[in-house]
């Protein structure tokens, strides 16, 4: 997938003794990239390796900016917004949007509709039509409590034609926020993997860990306290897999007087996940991991254990009271949990 290699103002790349580090801001998240440098026999060989890795990490940062620019719903001129404005029409779209929509529809299919990007209309009813300042404190949209859903939950008849890179949304606008960061991480790792075997790509809670960390062991990934505490709830040790988390820690607000959050259950049009604050999933694919966090979250505290077991998903979840649980499939990846 081609990207614009022009650096953004927030892009930063640093070379250290054993790593190349890069960071930026995109998709309402801090982006962090760490690439472990292999041992080099000569200074010239090291310099050549560093040059290759620096080019790769700049490409990675460009991928995140590209996905943000093309797939955001908050810019009325973005390719996604233009498609959403006429969702019953056919549109020729950029490659990034075409592939993102195909991935989103595939997730809709394999999740049996539990992941459904058409919940955009429900988010709009709740007042989440523009980017909200969640990071500055309490947010009130002034919208009334959610009325009965007025749109059909009929099967999503998304259509596409790869020969001309065109799509048709079947009449309903979509939000790619439930899969977009995972896709950006996935595509970034595909780019890095051409030149490196050990690296970490992280975007606001979604990450992929390849190979070994700089100390030669597994990458250590903390699971944060969704209630805002500074200490981690648990630490994972992972390699060659993705870790994704969905929580209500940041994106929650009041629609009128009703507390709501961004994780919408497509079956009801309402915020879901009764009794849960956060869900973390480990999976080989970053986009699939992100989708599973949302699908499992919507099962609520009563159903998440069974759903994770039935689908073979490695999951760790945190309840409203701060207590946590996890299934046996993720246990081998846990290095530490809070007492």
Domain segments of the chain as ranges:
9-73+177-204, 76-112+156-176, 119-148+218-338
Cα–Cα distance, 262 to 108 (Å, whole number): 18
Residue 147 has pLDDT above 70, yes or no: no
Mean pLDDT within 190-195: 98
Residue 192 has pLDDT above 70, yes or no: yes
What letter would DSSP give residue 25?
Answer: E
CA angle at residue 149 from 147 to 154, to 5 degrees? 175
Pick the CATH number of 119-148+218-338 from 3.10.520.10, 3.20.20.140, 3.40.140.10, 2.40.70.10: 3.10.520.10
Residue 339 has pLDDT above 80, yes or no: no
Cα–Cα distance, 242 to 86 (Å, whole number): 35
pLDDT band at residue 1 under the 50/70/90 scheme: low
Mean pLDDT within 118-138: 87
Mean pLDDT within 123-130: 88
Asked if 123 contacts 251 with a C-beta cutoff of 8 angstroms, the reply is: no
Look at residue 277 in the predicted model and tell me its pLDDT.
Answer: 96
Cα–Cα distance, 227 to 320 (Å, whole number): 8
Look at residue 128 in the predicted model and tell me its pLDDT.
Answer: 86
pLDDT band at residue 98 under the 50/70/90 scheme: very high
Percentage, residues of the chain above pLDDT 70: 95
Asked if 243 contacts 282 with a C-beta cutoff of 8 angstroms, the reply is: yes
Look at residue 251 in the predicted model and tell me its pLDDT.
Answer: 86
| Average confidence score pLDDT of the chain | 93
Look at residue 2 in the predicted model and tell me its pLDDT.
Answer: 47
* Alpha helices per DSSP H over 126-213: 180-192
Phi, psi of 46 (to 5 degrees): -65, -45
Give residue for tokens 């497509």.
266
Look at residue 9 in the predicted model and tell me its pLDDT.
Answer: 82
pLDDT in tens, 284-322: 999 999 999 999 999 999 999 999 999 999 999 999 999
Mean pLDDT within 208-221: 98
Structure tokens at 111: 């999740």
Cα–Cα distance, 339 to 334 (Å, whole number): 13
Residue 6 has pLDDT above 70, yes or no: no
Distance of CA 148 to the CA centre of its chain: 29
């Amino acid at each position: 997938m081609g990207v614009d290699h022009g650096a953004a103002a927030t892009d930063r790349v640093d070379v250290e003794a054993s790593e190349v580090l890069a960071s930026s801001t995109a998709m309402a998240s801090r982006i962090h990239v760490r690439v472990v440098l292999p041992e080099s026999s000569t200074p010239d060989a090291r310099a050549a390796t560093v040059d290759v890795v620096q080019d790769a990490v700049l490409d990675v940062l460009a991928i995140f900016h590209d996905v943000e620019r093309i797939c955001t719903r908050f810019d009325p001129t973005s390719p996604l917004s233009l498609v959403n404005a006429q969702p019953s029409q056919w549109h020729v779209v950029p490659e990034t949007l075409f592939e993102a929509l195909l991935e989103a529809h595939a997730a809709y299919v394999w999740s049996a509709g539990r992941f459904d990007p058409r919940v955009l209309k429900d988010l709009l009813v709740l007042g989440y039509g523009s980017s909200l300042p969640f990071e500055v404190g309490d947010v009130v949209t002034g919208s009334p409590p959610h009325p009965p859903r007025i749109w059909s939950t009929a099967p999503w008849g998304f259509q596409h034609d790869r020969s001309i890179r065109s799509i048709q949304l079947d009449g309903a606008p979509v939000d790619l926020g439930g899969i977009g960061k995972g896709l950006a991480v996935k595509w970034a790792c595909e780019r890095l993997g051409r030149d490196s075997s050990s690296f970490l790509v992280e975007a606001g809670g979604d990450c992929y860990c390849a190979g070994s960390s700089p100390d030669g062991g597994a990458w250590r990934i903390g699971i944060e306290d969704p209630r805002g505490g500074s200490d981690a709830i648990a630490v994972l040790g992972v390699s060659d897999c993705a870790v994704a988390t969905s929580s209500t820690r940041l994106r929650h607000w009041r629609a009128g007087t009703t507390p709501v959050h961004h994780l919408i259950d497509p079956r009801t049009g309402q915020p879901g996940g009764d009794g849960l604050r956060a869900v973390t999933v480990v999976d080989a694919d970053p986009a699939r991991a992100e989708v599973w966090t949302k699908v499992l979250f919507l099962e609520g505290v009563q159903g998440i254990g069974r759903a994770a077991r039935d689908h073979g998903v490695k999951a760790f979840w945190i309840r409203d009271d701060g207590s946590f649980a996890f299934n046996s499939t993720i246990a081998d990846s846990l290095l530490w949990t809070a007492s």
